[in-house]
């Protein structure tokens, strides 16, 4: 054992010890046993030093270093025996300076004897060559919540089910600008990652965790889950109509991916449920692009004509996530659901029917997020209702302008619904398209009402309002 009187105390450690009430003579004895950094970490992790406990620990280490017998506390011996830890391994750990309480915690946390053996061997070798005698375990003392053990429920161990204790506290304002997971202990000095969305109301939806679970559990694979062999040759006009619709749907998927991809990096990690779900939504739209491109090229057809693209800019140019979500998830996806319904109705094969049903399933989740986000936003920002109406005014106006000019899409849908280009087929197709158009507009209005905007039905763009029954006037 080194002579404590000859040990030099580093200035920063001396100051810290004085602040924490750690006696200088005890500090010199500790330095004779352990490196300064480890002692500094242990002292810094405590509010005030328990001098009596420190004296007891240091005396025990001095006795062991002098060749004294290593005594295993009864509680530690009992826990170790229950988990198959041999007595010799405990003594080696205690000889390295491990506290009995820490060993009990490590054993109860599930560390196996063979894992501990490897670690102890490393520490013994380090001591032999004059390196650190033990680890700086101050990180184990951070004030996060411990003792959390979440049990799987009927749906397994879901993202929502692990929101327990303090980990279920989701603040209205997230105070950190880093990628720190919610519930972790912040490390001072970590550089900002440049996120711009820190307010819960700007992105939150109460169903985000459940939508994430559903998205990963109901994922499907276009390559193998679609019965491509069931697609049979179609009349050229019908095949060309289907390929034109597929081309349009490929564009919609690409733009939706760009919109979500633009905003995801802006969202801080305090609201990971939303980021997790929207990451899955990104994958969903990539899969939709994949499946419609494959359908266009799987039956002797090919890609059709590009759409005008005016509405794409309304999505990309949104200045807030709530604006982007309202236009994408409620307006655009309500129309998209209508197109999928047309496709499923007009499907000529099990493959086409399954494609559109799978895509309806995916886009329904996106609309469910959009409804719940807008609802949450409005309950926290009632003063911004007019702002949301203005988002929708702009989106509906640009949508109506594009719909009028996208002749290829409209004619392709009429041909699919009517079955050809004979006069009676076109009349039938146009009549059915009008039915589906009225259906998606009414569904759009119902979703806005569910999101907290029932008055939207009276503010719709004229091209949409005509499809919504107006309340009867009072007599």
- Three-class DSSP labels, the chain: CCCHHHCCCCHHHHHHHHHHCCCHHHHHHHHCCCCHHHHHHHHHCCCCCCHHHHHHHHHHHHHHHCCCCCCCCHHHHHHHHHCCCCHHHHHHHHHCCCCHHHHHHHHHCCCCHHHHHHHHHHHHHHHHCCCCCCCCCHHHHCCCCCCCCCCCECCECCCCCCCCHHHHCCCCECCCCCCCCCCCCCCCCCCCCCCCECEHHHCCCCCHHHHHHHHHHCCCCHHHHCCHHHCCCCCHHHHHHHHHHHHHHHHHHHHHHHHHHHHHHHECHHHHHHHHHHHHHHHHHHHHHHHHHHHHCCCCCCCCCCCCCHHHHHHHCCCCHHHHHHHHHHHHHHHHHHHHHHHHHCCCCHHHHHHHHHHHHHHHHHHHHHHHHHHHHHHHCHHHHHHHHHHHHHHHHHHHHHHHHCHHHHHHHHHHHHCCCCHHHHHHHHHHHHHHHHHHHHHHHHHHHHCCCHHHHHCCCHHHHCCCCCCCCCC
Model pLDDT for residues 60-89, shown as the tens digit of each residue: 777 777 777 888 888 888 988 999 989 888
Contacts of residue 302, defined as CB under 8 A and 6 or more positions apart, other chains included, come to 243, 296
pLDDT in tens, 209-244: 999 999 999 999 999 999 999 999 999 999 999 999
Task: Give the whole-number percent of the chain exceeding pLDDT 90.
Answer: 63
Task: For residues 339-347, give the mean pLDDT.
Answer: 97
pLDDT of residue 60: 75
pLDDT for 3 beyond 90 = no
**Rounded percentage of the chain residues whose pLDDT exceeds 70:** 94
pTM of this structure: 0.73
User: Looking at residue 475, what is its pLDDT?
Assistant: 46
Query: What are the residue ranges spanned by the domains of the chain?
Result: 4-141, 200-465
Q: How confident is the model at residue 472 (pLDDT cuts 50, 70, 90)?
A: low
Cα-flanking dihedrals φ and ψ of residue 173, to 5°? -125, 125
State both tokens at 195: 């996120």
22 or 430: whose pLDDT is higher?
430
Which tens digit of pLDDT belongs to each residue from 420-442? 999 999 999 999 999 999 999 99
| Superfamily (CATH H level) for 200-465 | Ribonucleotide Reductase, subunit A (1.10.620.20)
> Is 2's pLDDT higher than 70?
no
Q: Tell me the pLDDT tens digit for each residue of 129-138.
A: 554 444 567 7
Considering only residues 332 and 124, tell me which one the structure prediction assigns the higher pLDDT: 332
Q: Taking 80 as the threshold, does the pLDDT of residue 96 lie above it?
A: no
State which of 25-34, 39-48, 175-184, 245-254 shows the largest mean pLDDT.
245-254
How confident is the prediction for the chain on average, in pLDDT? 90
Which pLDDT score is estimated for 397? 96
Q: What is the mean pLDDT of residues 22-42?
A: 77
Q: Determine which of 86-100, 205-219, 315-329, 359-373 has the lowest per-residue pLDDT on average.
A: 86-100
Q: How many CB atoms lie within 10 A of CB 191?
A: 7
> Residue 331 has what pLDDT?
97
Question: Is a pLDDT exceeding 80 seen at residue 445?
Answer: yes
Q: Using one digit for the tens of pLDDT, what is the confidence trace for 282-297?
A: 999 999 999 999 999 9
471 pLDDT more than 50 = yes
- Write out pLDDT tens, residues 385-421: 999 999 999 999 999 999 999 999 999 999 999 999 9
Compare 427 and 470 and report the one with higher pLDDT: 427
- What is the number of alpha carbons within 13 Å of residue 311 lying toward its C-beta? 29
pLDDT over threshold 50, residue 163: yes
């Amino acid at each position: 054992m080194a002579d404590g009187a000859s040990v030099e105390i580093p200035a920063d450690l001396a100051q810290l010890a004085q602040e924490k009430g750690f006696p200088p003579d005890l500090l010199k004895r500790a330095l004779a046993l352990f490196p300064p950094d480890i002692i500094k970490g242990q002292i810094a992790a405590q509010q005030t030093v328990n001098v009596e406990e420190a004296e007891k620990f240091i005396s025990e280490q001095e006795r062991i270093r002098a060749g004294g017998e290593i005594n295993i506390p009864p509680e530690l011996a009992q826990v170790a025996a229950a988990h198959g830890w041999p007595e010799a391994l405990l003594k080696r750990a205690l000889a390295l300076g491990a506290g009995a309480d820490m060993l009990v915690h490590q054993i109860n946390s599930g560390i196996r004897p063979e894992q501990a053996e490897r670690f102890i061997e490393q520490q013994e070798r380090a001591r032999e060559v004059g390196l650190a005698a033990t680890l700086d375990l101050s990180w184990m003392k951070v004030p996060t919540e411990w003792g959390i053990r979440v049990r799987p429920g009927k749906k397994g161990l879901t993202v929502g089910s692990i929101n327990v204790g303090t980990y279920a506290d989701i603040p209205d304002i997230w105070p950190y600008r880093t990628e720190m997971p919610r519930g972790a202990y912040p490390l001072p000095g970590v550089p900002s990652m440049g996120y711009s969305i820190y307010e819960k109301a700007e992105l939150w939806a109460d169903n985000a965790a459940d939508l994430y679970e559903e998205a990963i559990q109901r994922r499907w694979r276009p390559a193998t889950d679609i019965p491509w062999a069931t697609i049979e040759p179609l009349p050229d006009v019908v095949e060309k109509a289907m390929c034109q619709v597929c081309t349009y749907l490929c564009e919609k998927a690409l733009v939706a991916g760009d919109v979500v991809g633009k905003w995801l990096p802006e969202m801080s990690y305090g609201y990971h449920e939303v980021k997790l779900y929207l990451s899955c939504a990104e994958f969903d739209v990539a899969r939709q692009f994949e499946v419609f491109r494959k359908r266009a090229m799987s039956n002797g057809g090919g890609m059709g004509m590009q759409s005008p693209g005016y509405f794409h800019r309304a999505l990309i140019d949104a200045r807030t996530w709530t604006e982007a979500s309202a236009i994408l998830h409620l307006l655009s996806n309500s129309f998209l659901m209508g197109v999928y319904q047309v496709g499923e109705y007009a499907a000529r094969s099990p493959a086409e029917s399954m494609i559109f049903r799978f895509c309806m399933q995916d886009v329904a989740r996106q609309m469910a997020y959009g409804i719940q986000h807008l609802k949450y936003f409005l309950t926290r920002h009632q003063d911004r209702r007019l702002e949301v109406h203005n988002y929708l005014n702009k989106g509906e106006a640009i949508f109506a302008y594009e719909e009028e000019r996208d002749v290829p899409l409209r004619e392709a849908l009429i041909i699919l619904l009517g079955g050809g280009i004979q006069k009676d087929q076109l009349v039938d197709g146009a009549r059915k398209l009008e039915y589906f158009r009225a259906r998606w507009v009414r569904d759009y209005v119902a979703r806005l009402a569910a999101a907290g905007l029932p008055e939207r039905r009276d503010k719709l763009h004229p091209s949409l309002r005509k499809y919504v029954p107006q309340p009867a006037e009072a007599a």
